[in-house]
Structure 1
Amino acid sequence: MIILVTGSAGPTGEAVTGYFTDHGHTVIGVDKDDVDLLDRAAVQDLAERIEKEHGHVDGVVHLVGGWRGAKSFAETDLGDWDALHDLLVRTLQHVSLAFEPLLRRSENGRFVIVSAKAAERPTAGGAAYAAAKAASEAWTLSLADALRDTGSAAVILVVKALVNDAMRAAKPDARFAGFTDVRDLAEAIGGLYDRPAADINGTRLDLTT
């Protein structure tokens, strides 16, 4: 399969890239040093180059993210919203709009975002983050509706937070209760291909339970 991983340079991207590479698939990993995902023309150019070389994509795993918050609701800095809107929403919009036509050509494509429990249960100081995550989910559900009559599916994976080996090494006494290991996330993404697209399209799969 041809798998595009955006935000591939971080630990989560490395885990997802490694999973698909180890299973014999072609992975196209991009990060901010490769393509500016806030530049719609640049993202469209990437899609056209992949289309020319491969004709379609079988997976788009969108891992671009970030977190900002405040001590209280009243102390919320709307500059955090501006930053999170770009990171969590605008990049998603550009990638999904550019690659939806390529996913439609796949017989078993998947578009995946990672959301957070915060989107459904926001905290007072996490208003900007929760709102951006909720917007990302709504956008992805619209993509799912667009893919409804195809062999592809758009899916939201929900976590409390992610943890990797470097985080554990930095805080060896921390429990990271409820966190999802990036390798488990990668396996969950891979497992989406074992289920019919119609069964998972437009669903929120909670990895914390």
Structure 2
Amino acid sequence: MSRIALITGATSGIGKATAEAFAEAGIDLILCGRRQEKLESVVAELSDKVKLTTLLFDVRNKKAVFDAISSLPEEWKNIDILVNNAGNAHGLGTLDEGDTEDWDSMIDGNVKGLLYVSKAIIPTLIANGKGHIVNISSVAGKQTYINGAVYCASKAAVEVLSEGMRLELTQHGIKVTNVAPGAVETEFSLVRFKGDEEKAEKVYQGFDPLQASDIADMILYAVNAPARVTIADVTILAAAQSAATTIYRK
């Protein structure tokens, strides 16, 4: 019987790449996102490989999260894998000059959104006595950098929540994997710089950045590891990157 995975932020970047990798592996998919047309596009791309359904919601909206997940038909309720991928960076600046709306977006999405989705699904995993939660953190959750304190704090929270989940859920046969990517060439910087393509492109110039598929490969490996193995925490950096903001460019 095929496993079922629910992926948040499945319309682009790491989430979409993970959906593609899971589909190739025969894992049925619940794709979650905020953009209906993007969800439909991913479904059209992958529907010949596995069974798919979609949920349209913003992880920052608590009611929308619980309403959407509770609306799943019976055949989709027994979720085996949860990938908490949704989240973003907004703005780059010092604390005294930071935009509080940017702070709210990051904390609400990266932290509270992850909690809402997890709370909606964990009872099913516990009842089934098995499952796997993959949380997408960041190298920024392990090393704070200037002008990014709130984003770093939100991703450090993901690190702590991953550890807390592992402490609480291992006894129920549930694995928890924390994945901390470094510089991945996705829409991340475009969102952070509010659509400024020139600024976003400079982030990835002069070196070969990670691709979303690199992170998806790691996630697939983690969820396919033998029953005796838990990939608890992994940091993935570009070859030219040695720390959160240390990148050797040509």
Shorter chain as denominator, the TM-score bin is: 0.7 to 0.9
The structure-2 alpha-carbon separation of the partners of 1:46 and 1:102, relative to structure 1 and needing over 3 Å to count, comes to farther
Structure 1 CA distance for aligned equivalents of residues 122 and 180 of structure 2: 22
Structure 1 CA distance for aligned equivalents of residues 14 and 92 of structure 2: 25
- What's the CA shift for 1:108? 5.0
The structure-2 alpha-carbon separation of the partners of 1:9 and 1:108, relative to structure 1 and needing over 3 Å to count, comes to same
Match of 1:155 among 177, 185, 189: 177
**Structure 2 alignment gaps of length 5 or more:** 36-55, 190-197, 240-250
Query: How many positions carry a matched residue from both structures?
Result: 204
Match of 1:207 in 2: 236
- What's the CA shift for 1:160? 1.2
The structure-2 alpha-carbon separation of the partners of 1:142 and 1:191, relative to structure 1 and needing over 3 Å to count, comes to same
Match of 2:224 in 1: 194
The structure-2 alpha-carbon separation of the partners of 1:45 and 1:76, relative to structure 1 and needing over 3 Å to count, comes to closer
Structure 2 CA distance for aligned equivalents of residues 83 and 147 of structure 1: 28
- What's the CA shift for 1:38? 2.5
Q: Which has the higher contact order (CA 8 A, sep 6+)?
A: 1
Helix, strand or coil for the counterpart of 2:180? strand
Match of 1:181, as an amino acid? Q
The structure-2 alpha-carbon separation of the partners of 1:198 and 1:90, relative to structure 1 and needing over 3 Å to count, comes to farther
- What's the CA shift for 1:196? 4.5
Match of 1:157, as an amino acid? V
Q: What's the C-alpha RMSD, in Å, of the aligned pairs?
A: 2.7
- What's the CA shift for 1:126? 0.6
Match of 1:174 in 2: 205
Match of 2:213 in 1: 183
Counterpart check, 1:95 vs 2:124: no
Match of 1:86 in 2: 108
- What's the CA shift for 1:67? 1.1
The structure-2 alpha-carbon separation of the partners of 1:42 and 1:206, relative to structure 1 and needing over 3 Å to count, comes to same
Structure 2 CA distance for aligned equivalents of residues 109 and 61 of structure 1: 11
Match of 2:13 among 6, 11, 14: 11
**Structure 1 alignment gaps of length 5 or more:** none
Match of 1:32 in 2: 34
- What's the CA shift for 1:123? 1.2
Match of 2:24, as an amino acid? D
